């Protein structure tokens, strides 16, 4: 089980990555603010990826249990 500290760290990194283009220093680094549609796509693609991983995990676990029985 993942501890709440790891979740906090992961969410912190995500927050910094999203906020970084909004800071004034981002222009010096060559960052631009991504369009809103990018975040919509990112959420959809991540959700689809997690769903596929979960489905495959269940299939592999079912096959593993059947073979060990």
- Single pTM value for the model: 0.67
- Total domain count, the chain: 2
One domain, residues 59 and 46: yes
One domain, residues 18 and 1: yes
3-45 pLDDT, tens digit per residue, is 788 889 988 999 999 899 989 889 898 999 899 999 999 999 9
1 falls in which pLDDT band (50, 70, 90)?
low
Given a contact cutoff of 8 angstroms between Cβ atoms, the answer to whether 31 and 20 are in contact is yes
Q: Which domain holds residue 45?
A: 34-69
**What gap in Å lies between CA 13 and CA 25, rounded to an integer?**
18
One domain, residues 22 and 52: no
């Amino acid at each position: 089980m993942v501890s709440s500290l790891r979740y906090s760290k992961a969410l912190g990194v995500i927050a910094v990555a999203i906020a970084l283009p909004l800071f004034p220093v981002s222009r010096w680094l060559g960052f631009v603010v991504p369009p809103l549609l990018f975040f919509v796509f990112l959420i959809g693609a991540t959700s689809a990826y997690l769903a596929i991983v979960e489905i495959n995990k269940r299939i592999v676990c079912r096959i593993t249990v059947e073979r060990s029985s």
